[in-house]
Structure 1
Amino acid sequence: MSVENITERPAPTVADLEAEGDVAADFLEELLDIADIDGDLNLDVRQGRAYVSVEAEEGGGVELLSAPDTVQALQELTRLAVQSRTGSFSRLILDIGGSRDARRRQLERLVDAAVVKLDEGASQASLPAMSSYERKLVHDIVSDRGLTSESYGEGADRHTVIRRH
């Protein structure tokens, strides 16, 4: 595909993102019903994305779906369901049972370990490959700690490198 064929799409409006969240919630409700898992769905719009969270009382079964790889797979399925219904690419974020907060804490620990390497004299520290959303979180964490970061690599091998200013 040539560059001339690529057109910029306008940023989705809050109403577009709310509609995207509704479609995602409908899909997830059906999925939870099929799996006989009790969960409450909460919808939000933040930073130009629809956020859908599934929460439940302990023992409701949601914890069965909260492993990071499972959340990532369900997020991709939900994005495809939204795209199929709306005809537009979706960047929605799915959180199941607080999995996103747990992953952010893991990423903070990874960044902290990288900072120790920098403190010990390394010129840079590379983190493992991760999703674009996780890399964005890492860039935010790194910035909060007064350091710089850049992403390198392609596709599934894309990773973040952290440096001092």
Structure 2
Amino acid sequence: MEIDTNEVIEVTREVVGRLPVELQDVTYVADALHPIISVKVGNAKRLIGARGEHLRALNTLVKRIMEQRTGVEHANFLIDVNHYQQERNEEVRRKAKVIIERVRSFRSSAQLDPLSAYERMLVHSMVADDPEIVTESSGEGKDRRLTVRFVERPAEVPDTFSEPPLV
């Protein structure tokens, strides 16, 4: 069962409207991974918090309210404030791309700085179809990190039982 985006927008308006920020707009934006509820406010720093901590709390709060109202757990949407999450995701992708290429070039491994669950999922999805690169999450809570490793794949062995070419 999918969540009604209009209801998510309404709940987001209700929650943000009670906070000491100037709410300007709440809209829905289609995205490849998750629907995004885009919030525009006057003083974004207060709503985003240090390293996005308040924004993560807002996402959790709205998702819990939606779970109670609809009975749907693990709702598939993301709240973004003044494009903070969009810019952060682009930054995570850029850094991950550099690390992934470095790991591939040096045939080694590297650990990224702590990332949120969503950010780790972004990096996991970047290498999901790459046979030479794997990612592993480790650690707990805010210290949960992602390790990017090069995996040596055995060379393909030619089929010695195939028929010889016709001359």
TM-score (norm 2): 0.68
- C-alpha displacement at 1:146, in angstroms? 9.0
1:159 aligns to 2:145 (yes or no)? yes
- Unaligned residue ranges in structure 2 (runs of 5+): 152-167
- C-alpha displacement at 1:74, in angstroms? 0.6
- Unaligned residue ranges in structure 1 (runs of 5+): 1-11
Secondary structure of the 1:39 match is: strand
Aligned residues: 146
- Pairing 1:9-158 to 2, within 5 Å after superposition: 12=1, 16-17=2-3, 19=4, 21-35=5-19, 36-47=21-32, 49-56=34-41, 60-67=42-49, 68-89=52-73, 90-112=75-97, 114-115=99-100, 118=103, 121=106, 123-142=108-127, 148-153=133-138, 156=141, 158=144
Structure of larger gyration radius: 2
TM-score (norm 1): 0.69
Counterpart amino acid of residue 78 in structure 1: V
Secondary structure of the 2:18 match is: helix
**Inter-partner Cα distance in structure 1 for 2:103 and 2:34:** 34
Between structures 1 and 2, the one with greater helix share: 1
Counterpart amino acid of residue 72 in structure 1: R
Query: Kindly tell me: are residues 74 and 80 of structure 1, through their superposed partners in 2, closer, same or farther at Cα, counting changes over 3 Å?
Result: same
**Inter-partner Cα distance in structure 2 for 1:92 and 1:34:** 21
Partner of 2:158: none
Counterpart amino acid of residue 57 in structure 2: A
Identity in percent: 21
Aligned Cα RMSD in Å? Answer: 3.1
